[in-house]
Structure 1
């Protein structure tokens, strides 16, 4: 790498291997839901304060930033998410780190600690974000102006073994756009013995499911739409007044998502007219798709090659999942940004309550992030 320093402790991650894995295991046990990451945040902040970092906290949530002051005020930034899912595990509904946010926080934390005594040209900002699982944390952090003077932003995400094998990494994750449409169908309640006096919202829901199914059958591989939730009725002999539903939408690009949302809206309106019911709906949990930024991807690629070698560097990771990281660039397209996809032997899959991965990946993941910051620091943004 011409002109790019190999960190004074490029092997510092190896030296801190036991600490890195211990930190991950302790964060894994904390596991707090979106907007409730108090203990997680405090744990990370304590380690950063002890290393001399300046911490900026905010009212109303547990997200924060830590900065390493450079020679210039322009900022290169690294983001970690902190929240856990709430899901059923062995019969109990509990917070559970099955998406790897504890791993991401660990790698970003140790990248910060390793770089804490490194002289940098740019100011380096470490963003610890709440509520990624609610697709709301990035938006909140932007409200706090955490992207002020940021020229380069990147993140990292563990990948399932079927996407990227252990020992490999990709310089970009091409996440899809995702959205939920939540709606209520209002009919006319009646006794089940006199259905002609009512207007059954469940029958309207059935027609809606069929119409949505037709959209899906006509879909290419570039998008999907399906019903994931339907509730209505409490008694076997009564026609209910209301039925509520949720649709899950996914698309490879933001333009395709806009088209899909229009199709869904048109379909809901047609069913409303056909059944003479009243259907109210709104889009929730929207996340934009990733957009390739070639300069950022090239910096990430160089860092991965430096640590893992060309033969272990994937071109890209294409994922049907979503990530609220992409709000940062959707709202600020001038910022160069990408997200590393880290192969780690993850099985059986993200969001599975029994998700596991090879914790050795935390060490080379930390090395990649450290080297990527060093690569980015050499650029003129």
Structure 2
């Protein structure tokens, strides 16, 4: 039987960034295969051309080699080389029925984990072994819940087909879109997505969520001409100047009467020296809105600003979409079912159907949810509460491990009920 806390701590010690979850995904494949699941992974589980924000090849290869050093099965991980780290598992129940799917994200964040004695992973000696990378958003808990659920349901005592979706690269909202494009949500009748924490205390369960924003993540590159900044500045074409012009105008975009909006330039970098006109500059931008249509319009205007800012300074520019999400609309039927089932599980003390979230973040499970609903199915995004010593994406983030087992019990009851 899986020791869910030990499994979560193992994953916490070995965090991996989006599309480099080689060790994690290999472990998932191994465990699911041993349980009798039909497992799909590698290029069979994710669409190559639809992956967004893929790391550079050298980053992917370094992470691949590290996974091998840390014990990843060479035959399995070879099929994931190059960032194909999605895993999908299916199991047929002992009766006919609908296809029920559960989604779990696996990736970590580029954050250096705290070494303070009050931080449990430090005190308990399961702090990240990969400096500058940590599980600061509970995905180690999500993956552990998914595997423990798989073990409990391996007896096949449920009706219909079970599908488990282990997704790479949720951070930056990058991985779900490519799994949808590969067809991994086709034929799903019911989809449950979940997250631990998010300012909901331990013992509480929210059957659905609201407040997720549509978003687009963009990477813009400006290319100019380098020259001597003192002797011949007129011969140069300053890429940083064009990027700076774009930055100021992006942040000057008006608010919209049709919906709430957000825009941010999170990265601006370029140039090689104080006495050199910058030939290259790079920007990373995000747009967000409560409305998918408004977000698309905001994105269009950002792209237009980049194009014209480059033209002003006689530069060339390119823009790539490196992430995205759409609003989530949960089906109350599933949310109400989750609340009913949670009330009979030790560890849950309070259940609500709707969580009217105000965090105004984004989630790429939205693409999975919409695809299921487009086919006539139903979906929801649940919040399983967890007391947190620090906020998500903080160096001292950690979860209340006591919530892991009740979360598995909830998902198990949902699968068997449906």
Same fold per superposition (TM over 0.5)? yes
Q: Give the distance between the partners of 1:177 and 1:292, measured in 2 at CA.
A: 15
Counterpart residue number, 1:5: none
The Cα shift of 1:130 comes to 2.9
Q: Give the distance between the partners of 1:267 and 1:57, measured in 2 at CA.
A: 40
Match of residue 208, structure 2, among 172, 177, 187: 172
The Cα shift of 1:184 comes to 2.0
Q: Give the distance between the partners of 2:267 and 2:236, measured in 1 at CA.
A: 23
Q: Give the distance between the partners of 2:137 and 2:247, measured in 1 at CA.
A: 30
Relative to 1, partners in 2 of residues 1:192 and 1:220: Cα closer, same or farther, differing over 3 Å?
A: farther
Matching of residues 24-35 of structure 1 within 5 Å: 24-35=8-19
Alignment of 1:316 onto 2:386: no
| Superposition TM-score, scaled by structure 1 size | 0.82
Unpaired runs of 5+ residues, structure 2, are: 44-78, 116-129
Whether the aligned pair in 1 keeps the contact of 2:99 and 2:163 (CA below 8 Å) is: yes
Whether the aligned pair in 2 keeps the contact of 1:70 and 1:124 (CA below 8 Å) is: no
Please list the CA deviations of residues 132-169 of structure 1 after superposition, one character each: whole Å capped at 9, or x if unmatched.
336443344335543342100112111233xx122212
Counterpart residue number, 2:400: 358
Relative to 1, partners in 2 of residues 1:209 and 1:218: Cα closer, same or farther, differing over 3 Å?
A: farther
Unpaired runs of 5+ residues, structure 1, are: 1-15
Matching of residues 1-381 of structure 1 within 5 Å: 19-59=3-43, 60-61=79-80, 62=85, 63-72=87-96, 74-89=98-113, 93-117=131-155, 119-133=157-171, 135-161=173-199, 164-174=200-210, 175-193=212-230, 194-215=232-253, 222-307=260-345, 311-313=350-352, 315-318=354-357, 319-332=359-372, 333-334=374-375, 335-375=377-417, 377=418
Q: Give the distance between the partners of 1:244 and 1:313, measured in 2 at CA.
A: 44
Q: Give the distance between the partners of 2:295 and 2:340, measured in 1 at CA.
A: 32
| More strand, by proportion | 1
Whether the aligned pair in 2 keeps the contact of 1:98 and 1:352 (CA below 8 Å) is: yes
Whether the aligned pair in 2 keeps the contact of 1:58 and 1:144 (CA below 8 Å) is: no
| Superposition TM-score, scaled by structure 2 size | 0.75
Whether the aligned pair in 2 keeps the contact of 1:170 and 1:317 (CA below 8 Å) is: no
Please list the CA deviations of residues 308-365 of structure 1 after superposition, one character each: whole Å capped at 9, or x if unmatched.
7784426215243222212213344233111211210124222223211211111221
Whether the aligned pair in 1 keeps the contact of 2:94 and 2:156 (CA below 8 Å) is: no
Relative to 1, partners in 2 of residues 1:234 and 1:205: Cα closer, same or farther, differing over 3 Å?
A: same
Relative to 1, partners in 2 of residues 1:145 and 1:273: Cα closer, same or farther, differing over 3 Å?
A: closer
Please list the CA deviations of residues 11-44 of structure 1 after superposition, one character each: whole Å capped at 9, or x if unmatched.
xxxxx8x922222112222323333434323434
The Cα shift of 1:65 comes to 0.8
Q: Give the distance between the partners of 2:94 and 2:235, measured in 1 at CA.
A: 74
Whether the aligned pair in 1 keeps the contact of 2:102 and 2:164 (CA below 8 Å) is: yes
Q: Give the distance between the partners of 2:254 and 2:342, measured in 1 at CA.
A: 38
Relative to 1, partners in 2 of residues 1:70 and 1:78: Cα closer, same or farther, differing over 3 Å?
A: farther
The Cα shift of 1:97 comes to 1.6
Aligned residues: 358
